[in-house]
Chains A and B, each alone.
Chain A
Amino acid sequence: MGANVKYRIGKSRAFQGLVIVLAFSCIIPLFAILFFIIKAGITKINWHFLISIPKPVGETGGGIANALLGTCIIIVVAAIIAIPVGIMCGIYLSENKKSKLAYWSRLCVDILQGVPSIVMGIVAYFWLVKPLGGFSALSGSVALAIMMLPIVIRSTEETLKLLPDSLKEAAFALGMPFHRVILKVIVPCGISGILSGVILSVARVAGETAPLLFTAFGNPYLSANVLKPMHSLPLLIFNYATSPYNDWHDLAWGASLILLVFVLLLNISTKLITKRWKVQL
C-alpha cells in the first residue's frame, strides 16, 4: 500500500469521525435544556402550584391554575375548529389530485405552513379582536387553529393517498354513495395517520406564544369565558421569565417543565402511533 492510499483512507476515517462527533453534539443542547428545566422546575411543582392563581409580586407561593385552564380551553377550541376543516380539506386534496383548484389549494396549504406565527397573531387581531372590541381567548384559538390546519391537512392527505384504490373501488362496487365510502371506509382505514397528524398539530400549537400575545393577551385571574382575555402557559412563561422578580421566575420554571413534558409526551405518542400502525408521515 502506497502512502497515497494510506493518506486517502486516513482522510476518509477522519471525516467519518468528524461527522459522528458533529451529529451527536446536536443532542447536547436538547439534553441540556431538559436537564436544566427539570432541575429548576421539579422543586416548584406541587398540588398548591397547580390549583392556585399567581400571587402579586412580593408574596411567595401562588400557582398557575389560570394558565393551565386557559391553555386547555384555548387548545380545545382551536382543535374543534381545525380538526373537521383540516380533515375535510385533506380528503378533498387526496380525492382531487389533478384539478386546478386542488393545485392552488395545496399551494395555499404550503404557504400557510410557512406563515410566521407572529403574523398569524396580527391577522387574528384584525379579524376578531378589533371587531369584537377586546382581547379574547376565542381570537387566540382561531389563530392557533389556522396554524394547526396545514399539519392536519398534510397528514390526512398523505395517509389517504397511500390507501390502495381497490379499497375505494370495492366500496363503490357495492353501491355505496361517495360520502359513505369516504366516511365509513377510507377515513377509518387511515385513522391512525390522521390521528397522529392531529396530535402533532396540538403539540405544535400548545407551545405557541406569539399568536397569543395580541389575542388571548393574558389574564391574572381564573377565567373560563372564551370571549374574555385568558392566560396560557406559554404566555405566562414569557411574561414571568422576562420579569425581574425571582418569585415569578420560579413560577415560570415550573410552568416550563409542565409545558415541556406535555409537548414532548404528545410528540412521543405520535411516534408510537406511527410506529405501531406503520404509517409514514
Chain B
Amino acid sequence: MLDTPAENNMLTLSDGSLGVIGSVKTPVNVGQKVKRLYRQIRTENIFKRMLVLMGILMILLVLGILLTLIVESMPSIKALGAKYLWGKTWDPVQDIYGAYPFLLGTLLTSFLALVISIPFSVAIAIFLGEYYPKGWLPDFLKNTVELIAAVPSVIYGFWGLAVLVPLVRSLEIKLGIDPYGVGIFSSALILAVMIIPYAASLGRSVIQMVPSALKEGAYSLGATRWEVIRHIIIPYTKSGLFAGILLSLGRALGETMAVTMVIGNTSIIPKNIFAPGNTMASVIANEFTEADKPVYLSALIELGLVLFLVTVVINMIGKRVISRFTND
C-alpha cells in the first residue's frame, strides 16, 4: 500500500533540508529529490483544489437547477402571473392555463397516501424499535420493508394498472359510483405502499434512541407496555416521527411514473377521491414533449419549479427536525 522508496526519499530529504546536507553523498541526487518533492507538493495542492471544486460543484448544480427552472418558466410567469396557480381550467388548445387541478390532484393523492401509510409505517417502527429489535424475524421484516423502496416506480405503476385498478373498479361498482378504476384513490394506494419504508426506517431509529431509564422508570411504576409506548415513547419521539412522515410526504409529492400510470390523466378538477385527475408531476410527464407553444411549455416548467421548491422546503424542514432530535 505504501510506496516505500518514495517515502524514504522524502524522509532523508526533509532531514537534509534541516541542515544535514553534508551527509548526503551526491549533490545530483539532492536536485532530483527536490524536484520530486516539489512535484509531490504540486499534486497535493491540485488534489486539494479538486476536492474543494467538487464541493463547489454541488452548490453550482443546485443553483443551476433552480436558475434553469426560473429562467425557463419566465414566459409563463410574465404572461399568466400569480393567478396561474389558482386558475381552474387547463386548456392548452384555447391557451388557458390554470394549475389548480394539478395542485389539488397532487395534494389529494399525497395526503391520502400519507393517511393510509401512517398506521403501517408507525406500526413497523414500533415493532422494530420497541417490541422486537433483534432476531431473524425482525431482520427479515426490516430487509423486506427496505426492498419495498427499491422496486422501480414504473413497476408499481404497471402492477397497479394490471391488479389494483380492476380491484378498485369492482369496489367502485359496489359503492355505486362511476367505475373508472383509475383515479386519485388508486394512485394514493400505490403511493402509500411506496412511501411506507421512508417513515418506517426513520421512526425505527428514533424509537431505538429513547433512553431505557425513562422506560424502566415507567415500568417500575407499574405501567403496561402500551402505556409506556403511549406516554413515554410517542411523546419522546414525536418530532422524529413527524420528520419521517414529512420526508415520506416529500417522496409522495414528487413521485411521477406510478401515479402517471394509474391516475387517469384528465385535467378536469376531480369531483371526489375516486375520480380521475392529474398531479403536477404526471402532467409534466404526459405533456412536456407535446407542448408546442412556448407559453404551454413554460407553464409546465413552472409546475416543475413549484414542485422543486415545495419538495426542497419539506425536505429541509424534515432534515432540520431530525438533526435537532439527534443532537438533543
Interface residues of A (CB under 8 A from B): 8-9, 11-12, 15-16, 18-20, 22-27, 29-30, 32-33, 36-37, 40, 85, 88-89, 91-93, 95-96, 101-102, 104-105, 108-123, 125-127, 146, 149, 153, 171, 174-180, 182, 184-185, 188, 203-204, 206-210, 213-214, 217, 234, 237-238, 241-242, 252-253, 256, 259-260, 263-264, 267-268, 271
Contacts and interface: CB of A to CB of B under 8 A. Distances in A.
A92 to B, nearest CB: 4
A214 B155 contact: no
B209 interface: no
B55 A89 contact: yes
Contact of A15 (B47, B59, B193, B229): B229
B193 A113 contact: no
B94 to A, nearest CB: 24
Nearest to A130: B72
Nearest to A241: B158
Contact of A30 (B127, B144, B253): B144
Contacts of B154: 207, 209, 234, 237-238, 241, 256
Nearest to A236: B154
Contacts of B51: 88-89, 91-92, 95
A177 B41 contact: yes
B124 interface: yes
Dominant SS among interface residues on chain B: helix
A33 B315 contact: no
Q: Which of A27, A96, A116, A120 has the most CB of B within 10 A?
A: A116
Contacts of B156: 33
Interface of B: 1-3, 7, 10-11, 14, 40-41, 43-44, 47-48, 50-52, 54-59, 61-62, 64-65, 68-69, 72, 119-120, 123-124, 126-128, 131, 141, 143-148, 150-159, 161-163, 193, 196, 200, 224-227, 229, 250, 253-257, 261, 281, 284-285, 288-289, 301, 304, 307-308, 311-312, 314-316, 319
Contacts of A206: 152
10 contacts: A23-B127, A36-B159, A40-B162, A115-B308, A115-B312, A125-B288, A207-B154, A210-B285, A259-B155, A263-B152
The 9 closest A-B pairs by CB, nearest first: A207-B152, A116-B254, A22-B123, A114-B315, A179-B47, A12-B226, A12-B224, A89-B54, A92-B51
Contacts, number: 255
Given A88-B54, A93-B55, 18 more contacts: A19-B127, A20-B127, A23-B123, A23-B128, A23-B141, A37-B155, A104-B59, A108-B62, A110-B316, A111-B312, A111-B316, A115-B254, A122-B288, A123-B64, A175-B10, A179-B44, A204-B150, A209-B257
Contacts of B308: 115-116, 119
Contacts of A256: 154-155, 158
Contacts of A252: 158
B285 A176 contact: no
B12 to A, nearest CB: 10
B245 to A, nearest CB: 15
B285 A213 contact: yes
A36 to B, nearest CB: 6
